[in-house]
Chain A
Amino acid sequence: MAAPRRLTRTGSVLRVTDTGAHITASPISNARLAMVIFLAFESMFFAALIAAYLVFRLRSAIWPPSDLPQLPLAVTWMNTGVLAISAYTMRRARAAQRAGRRDELARSLVATAALGSLFLAVQGSEWARLVGHGLTLSTGMYGATFYTLIGCHGLHVLAAVVWLLVVLARAQRSRFAAPVRVPLELCAIYWFYVVGLWAALFPLVYLL
């Protein structure tokens, strides 16, 4: 008779026999490892953008140039708070998924998606205002570096929101049962990465 298989907290599969337990799985799942490697590549991509930004920022005594509009600091502070809260709700969603609390999982996922969308909406409205004041992608190096760096981050947030909505739709279809565990874990890792990235970009672009 085949020995019973057991799933532990860490996701490892144990085969229990008369002689003891044999490990048949690695400590880190392939999906998580792939996600982390992907994020390592993403980090290098953003590092290149940040390095280019640093060259233009540090060589300029006056930044932003005096004839261009100042960046909206107060609104962006609030938007940063929105993104930080979204990380908290995502954390709650993950905890609820692990504990099997389906209602809380649904609420937390919806809240996270809504907060991410709010962040994008505020960013979009601020961009429209800046363009109206004359700061465009072709307004010298200031406009080019600002829109490239913040725009790339915005695209990543958009991708994270779309991904989260897909996970949410799948979760609703399966009534928040086990099949969404891995997609939700990966989406959460990506979400935390995007929030962490903003924590680095915000002081660099808006405060430095």
Chain B
Amino acid sequence: MRITPLTFIGLGLAAIFAILGVVTLPSTALAQGCAMCKTALDGPVDPLTEAFNVSSLFLMATPYTVVGTVGAWIYIASRRHQRHLEHDASGDDDTVHEL
């Protein structure tokens, strides 16, 4: 795609409108959550509050656990693959099969 001066002006205007929108929006409106959750969690620490907290922590931790596990698996597989390649390239591989 060729970038023209008109593209720059368009992007600049979009950025200005985005910044203005974020700055001028009332922060109280952004801070509103689910009315039921807010009412329940604003009160004293009770089993429901504890349950919400534990559940939230669990949900926050899960993506990191999943991505970390997949990343570790890829890393370990890559290391193992590299070791096998070095072993194969050394010429003393007894498990090589012709396709």
Residue numbers of A with Cβ under 8 A of B are 4-10, 12-14, 20-21, 23, 27-28, 33, 36-37, 40, 43-44, 47-48, 50-52, 54-61
- 8 A-B pairs with CB atoms under 8 Å apart are A5-B98, A6-B88, A8-B85, A27-B80, A28-B81, A43-B62, A55-B52, A57-B51
| B97 pairs with A7, CB closer than 8 A | yes
Q: A23-B85, A44-B62 known; A52 and B55 CB under 8 Å?
A: yes
Number of B residues contacting the other chain (C-beta, 8 Å)?
A: 32
Supply 6 further A-B pairs (C-beta < 8 A) apart from A47-B59, A47-B62: A8-B85, A21-B88, A27-B78, A27-B80, A47-B58, A55-B48
Number of A-B residue pairs with CB-CB distance less than 8 Å in the complex they form: 88
Task: Enumerate chain A residues within 8 angstroms of B82, measured Cβ to Cβ.
Answer: 27
| B81 pairs with A12, CB closer than 8 A | yes
Cβ of B60 to closest chain A Cβ, rounded Å = 10
SS of B interface (majority): helix
In the docked arrangement, what's the CA distance between A4 and B97, Å?
Answer: 11
Task: Enumerate chain B residues within 8 angstroms of A27, measured Cβ to Cβ.
Answer: 77-78, 80-82
Task: Enumerate chain B residues within 8 angstroms of A33, measured Cβ to Cβ.
Answer: 74
- 10 tightest CB-CB pairs across the interface, nearest first? A27-B81, A58-B51, A47-B62, A59-B51, A51-B55, A59-B48, A54-B55, A59-B47, A27-B78, A55-B51
| B58 pairs with A9, CB closer than 8 A | no
Question: Which of B52, B77, B88 is in CB contact (< 8 Å) with A8?
Answer: B88
In the docked arrangement, what's the CA distance between A48 and B88, Å?
Answer: 45
| B74 pairs with A28, CB closer than 8 A | yes
Task: Enumerate chain B residues within 8 angstroms of A51, measured Cβ to Cβ.
Answer: 55-56, 58-59
In the docked arrangement, what's the CA distance between A14 and B67, Å?
Answer: 30
Cβ of A2 to closest chain B Cβ, rounded Å = 12
Question: Which of B59, B70, B95, B96 is in CB contact (< 8 Å) with A36?
Answer: B70
